[in-house]
Amino acid sequence: MAEKRNAMADRKKREPDDEEALRLAETTDVSPNQAKDLMHKHGKDSAKVEKEAKNFKAEG
């Protein structure tokens, strides 16, 4: 069980990967680079990042 918690903690700390950025880009219509930037800025909270991406696209 501790290994699972450590894996989740590591996932939150690591860099966003291309697969995650592409998924965000496809679902929110931002570019993959913009998606990565948003993931760096807002962390691994996918709901928050997706909300920010939608706001970002609406403003742009």
Distance CA(29)–CA(1), nearest Å, equals 37
CB 35 within 8 A of CB 25: yes
Write the CB contacts of 1 (distance below 8 Å, at least 6 apart in sequence): none
pTM: 0.65
Q: 21 lies in which domain range? A: 2-59
CB 24 within 8 A of CB 38: yes
Q: What is the full per-residue pLDDT of the chain (60 aa) written as tens digits?
A: 555 555 555 555 555 588 999 999 999 999 999 999 999 998 878 899 999 998 887 776
Q: How many domains does the chain have?
A: 1
CB 24 within 8 A of CB 39: yes
